[in-house]
């Protein structure tokens, strides 16, 4: 195995000094992402590469095979599962944000082609003059790169209308673990029944199969107007049933979040703090629904009125304080993330947001919520709340954030958090759901995800070896956990 100095020199010789960072201050930001971890734990990479082309990425990967170092692609650093954080000391980071160009906008064929390091926000800025948009819209869009959004399979505010990113992904260019450059997918075709859907294998792969360098995406006409509404309900179940009835009636809901009473308290607390008065939220409210409807103005107004009629039948009451509605919508769509300036202004000055991100069958949501409150008490974690995103078009399709506070200055708090994540993940499988819906395995679920996947995990390991025969791409992620003592998943071997 080559030394750190030899690896750095080889990278500089191959790419030029302007594309290789290796001084300590430049490396430190790449030792963490947004996942909770003790302040004292950090692995620094040997170097950080700033590529400008697919060929640059391939050069690094080929060197990794020759010199026996490992490679992690890095996007915006907003991941919550440790997917981009080094696990090993012989790591080189490829910061994809330097590959941020729009390569083609093809309005007649409804596609945009971009480099993988461009942020989702910049994609939509490029489409704005044409009256089109890319509706995959995570809250982290100012920083989230499109390559990382694919690799992590994160959520979108508009999932209940447009689905997850698989709906929009037409084609990718990738560099495999042995340095091959491949185009996967069907170019500009929006559907195909030929071959295998290999480009879909990259969704949720977390940089373990190949490095995405170029992406072709479906785009859509931007709606002319939008109504943003908020209702409170006497229970989570009634909120779910109300949304289902609205969909059955033909109302094209564009986004829909369901929050529990803890989430409701965030908005009321912020309102009370800012305005010095109580919002008109009834005592019986146990769930809150924030949603949007989009289209032509007359159509939107009609649907909003009809939706209100349906929601009242399920005990829903509209939130009249527009400041509360706007604070919710700002956090989901319109406002760039600003540390310490969110709708709950004091929440993350001392403690960090952490979550178990579960997919729970619709009929078991109340059961999951009860377990959530019990589990947080067992692990002595303070609750932020449950928030249900919906990520499949035109149906309730829960992608749930069970969120708590974590104190990174207290190692026991981090340890208790990951024990909580494991318990909640195992609950999801018992309820016939899934352990993760928007964060991914990262370095947190890999040690026990065989509980969900069973022997199918062996097939996944075989696929990993086809794409990455020498295990140079983000090794360990998906297959082991940094946070548990026993790991139930065998490591992929060359």
C-alpha distances out from residue 103 to 112, 113, 116, 402, 466, Å: 8, 5, 11, 38, 29
Report the mean per-residue pLDDT for the chain: 92
Q: Give the per-residue pLDDT at 115.
A: 99
Residue 146 lies in a domain: yes
Residue 315 lies in a domain: yes
DSSP string, 337-400: --TT-SSSTTTTTTSEEEEEEEB--GGGHHHHHHHHHHHHHHTT--EEEEEEEE-STTS--EEE
Same domain, 77 and 157: yes
pLDDT in tens, 250-264: 999 999 999 999 999
Residue 493 has pLDDT above 50, yes or no: no
Residue 263, phi then psi, degrees to nearest 5 = -65, -40
Q: Give the per-residue pLDDT at 436.
A: 97
Domain boundary among 403, 419, 441: 441
Residue 239 lies in a domain: yes
Same domain, 74 and 202: yes
Residue 343 lies in a domain: no
Domain of 131, in residue numbers:
1-222+442-494
Residue 233 has pLDDT above 80, yes or no: yes
8 A C-beta contact, residue 10 and residue 2? yes
Residue 342 lies in a domain: no
C-alpha distances out from residue 186 to 146, 205, 216, Å: 18, 19, 9
Same domain, 234 and 215: no
pLDDT in tens, 265-298: 888 877 787 788 888 889 999 999 999 999 999 9
8 A C-beta contact, residue 212 and residue 61? no
- Strands 70-74 and 91-95 turn out to be parallel
Residue 339 lies in a domain: no
Alpha-carbon span 305 to 246, nearest angstrom? 11
Alpha-carbon span 292 to 251, nearest angstrom? 11
Q: Give the per-residue pLDDT at 140.
A: 86
C-alpha distances out from residue 328 to 252, 345, 399, Å: 20, 13, 18
* Residue listed under structure tokens 């001084």: 23
* Residue listed under structure tokens 């800012």: 274
Same domain, 310 and 420: no
Q: Give the per-residue pLDDT at 274.
A: 78
Look at 286 and 490; give whichever has higher pLDDT.
286
Q: Give the per-residue pLDDT at 339.
A: 44
Same domain, 239 and 120: no
Strands ordered across the beta sheet of 20-21: 20-21, 47-49, 91-95, 70-74
Q: Which of 84, 138, 72 is nearest to 440 (CA)?
A: 84
Count how many domains the chain has: 3
Residue 385 lies in a domain: yes
Same domain, 202 and 214: yes
Same domain, 448 and 428: no
DSSP string, 223-253: PSEEEEEEEEES-HHHHHHHHHHHHHTT--E
Alpha-carbon span 207 to 74, nearest angstrom? 9
Residue 369 has pLDDT above 70, yes or no: yes
Residue 151 has pLDDT above 50, yes or no: yes
- Strands 225-233 and 169-176 turn out to be unpaired
Structure tokens at 247: 């969909």
**Which CATH number characterizes residue 310's domain?**
3.30.70.3450
Same domain, 157 and 250: no
Same domain, 23 and 56: yes
Same domain, 397 and 478: no
pLDDT in tens, 408-438: 999 999 999 999 999 999 999 999 999 999 9
Strands ordered across the beta sheet of 169-176: 102-106, 111-115, 210-218, 169-176, 181-185
Q: Which residues contact 361 (CB under 8 A, 6 or more apart)?
A: 398, 431, 432, 433
Do you know the residue count of the chain?
494
Q: Mean pLDDT across the stretch 304-317?
A: 98
Same domain, 207 and 270: no
Residue 235 lies in a domain: yes
Same domain, 66 and 161: yes
Using DSSP, state whether 254 is helix, strand or coil. strand
Name which of 46-50, 264-268, 464-468 the model is least confident about.
264-268
């Amino acid at each position: 195995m080559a030394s750190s100095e030899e690896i750095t020199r080889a990278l500089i010789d191959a790419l030029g000094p302007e594309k290789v960072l290796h001084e300590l201050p430049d490396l430190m930001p790449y030792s963490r992402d947004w996942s909770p971890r003790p302040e004292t734990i950090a692995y620094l990479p040997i170097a950080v590469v700033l590529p400008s082309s697919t060929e640059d990425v391939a050069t690094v990967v080929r060197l990794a095979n020759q010199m026996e170092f490992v490679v992690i692609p890095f996007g915006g650093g907003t991941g919550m599962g440790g997917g981009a954080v080094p696990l090993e000391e012989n790591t080189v980071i490829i910061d994809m944000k330097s590959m941020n160009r729009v390569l083609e906008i093809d309005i007649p064929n409804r596609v945009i082609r971009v480099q993988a390091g461009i942020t989702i926000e910049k994609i939509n800025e490029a489409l704005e003059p044409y009256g089109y948009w890319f509706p995959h819209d995570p809250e982290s869009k100012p920083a989230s790169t499109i390559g990382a959004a694919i690799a992590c399979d994160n959520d979108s505010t508009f999932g209940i209308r447009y689905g997850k990113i698989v709906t929009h992904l037409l084609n990718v260019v990738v560099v495999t673990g042995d340095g091959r450059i491949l185009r996967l997918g069907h170019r500009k075709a929006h559907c195909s029944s030929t071959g295998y859907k290999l480009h879909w294998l990259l969704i949720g792969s977390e940089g373990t199969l190949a490095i995405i360098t170029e992406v072709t995406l479906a785009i859509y006409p931007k709606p002319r107007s939008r109504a943003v509404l908020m209702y409170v309900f006497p229970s989570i179940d009634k909120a779910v049933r109300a949304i289902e009835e609205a969909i059955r009636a033909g109302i094209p809901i564009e986004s829909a979040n369901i929050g529990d009473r803890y989430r409701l308290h965030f908005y009321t607390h912020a309102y009370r703090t800012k305005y010095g008065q109580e919002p008109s939220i009834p005592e019986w409210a146990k769930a809150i629904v924030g949603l949007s409807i989009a289209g032509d103005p007359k159509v939107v107004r009609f649907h909003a009125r009809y939706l209100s009629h349906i929601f009242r039948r399920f005990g829903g009451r509209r939130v009249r304080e527009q400041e509360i509605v706007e604070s919710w919508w700002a956090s989901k769509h319109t406002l760039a993330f600003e540390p310490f300036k969110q709708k709950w202004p004091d929440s993350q000055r001392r403690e960090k947001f952490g979550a178990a991100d579960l997919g729970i069958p619709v009929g078991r949501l109340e059961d999951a919520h009860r377990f959530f409150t019990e589990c947080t008490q067992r692990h002595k974690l303070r609750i932020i709340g449950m928030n249900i995103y919906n990520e499949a078009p035109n149906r309730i399709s829960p992608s749930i954030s069970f969120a708590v506070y974590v104190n990174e200055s207290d190692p026991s708090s981090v340890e208790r958090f990951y024990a909580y994540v494991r318990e909640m993940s195992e609950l999801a499988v018992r309820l016939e759901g899934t352990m993760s819906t928007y964060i991914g395995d990262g370095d947190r679920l890999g040690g026990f995800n065989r509980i969900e996947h069973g022997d199918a995990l062996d097939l996944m390991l075989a696929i990993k070896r086809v794409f990455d025969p020498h295990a140079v791409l983000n090794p360990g992620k998906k297959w082991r956990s940094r946070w548990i003592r026993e790991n139930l998943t065998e490591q992929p071997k060359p």
